[in-house]
Amino acid sequence: MPDTTSASQQPDPRLRSKHSSSAKAELQSFFRGFVYAFRGVAYTVKTQRNMRVHIFAAILAVVAGALLKISLIEFGFIAIAILSVLVSEMFNTVIETCVDLISPEYHPLAERAKDVAAGAVLVNAGMAVIIGIIVFAPPLISLFTKL
């Protein structure tokens, strides 16, 4: 049977190669985004003392959770608390960096922006401590009453 498809209805091979190279470029761009993201995390860890303190506290919380055999749901709450503090610390770093870029000299509004950003981290860390108390207090009390 003869091919009745007109030339205009058949796929253009040039479009296919252009599409595949475009898809390849998109995939490379996607993975490059991870490089930039990891660079941002590394920068925050290297330059922000409080981020290192939060990471140390996170490691202690995970180890304590494992030793106390807390439930998966409790680990979920601990993970949410840990990650929210780390993310808020990173946003604090973003805000402080942007304020320093825009206002290298002292300005009371720049100070206020930095203080509020730091306050947000403090509130978030306070929430994480409360979650830690709720999760860890019962097994710790149980452990110490057995001794």
Q: Would 6 be classed as within a structural domain?
A: no
The total number of structural domains in the chain stands at 1
Q: Would 143 be classed as within a structural domain?
A: no
- 89 in catalytic set: yes
- Quick: pLDDT tens for 44-86: 999 999 999 999 999 999 999 999 999 999 999 999 999 999 9
Q: Would 93 be classed as within a structural domain?
A: yes
Q: Would 55 be classed as within a structural domain?
A: yes
> For 48-52, which contacts have Cβ atoms below 8 Å and span 24 or more sequence positions?
48/89, 48/93, 50/89, 50/121, 51/86, 51/89, 51/90, 51/93
Q: Which residues form the domain of 125?
A: 19-135
> Of 74, 89, 96, 105, which is the active-site residue?
89
Is the pLDDT confidence value at 7 over 70? no
The CATH number for 69's domain is 1.10.287.3610
Q: How far is CA 12 from the centre of its chain?
A: 43
pTM over 0.75: yes
Q: Would 4 be classed as within a structural domain?
A: no
Mean pLDDT for all residues in the chain: 91
Q: Would 52 be classed as within a structural domain?
A: yes
Helices 72-102, 108-146: crossing angle, 10 deg rounding: 160
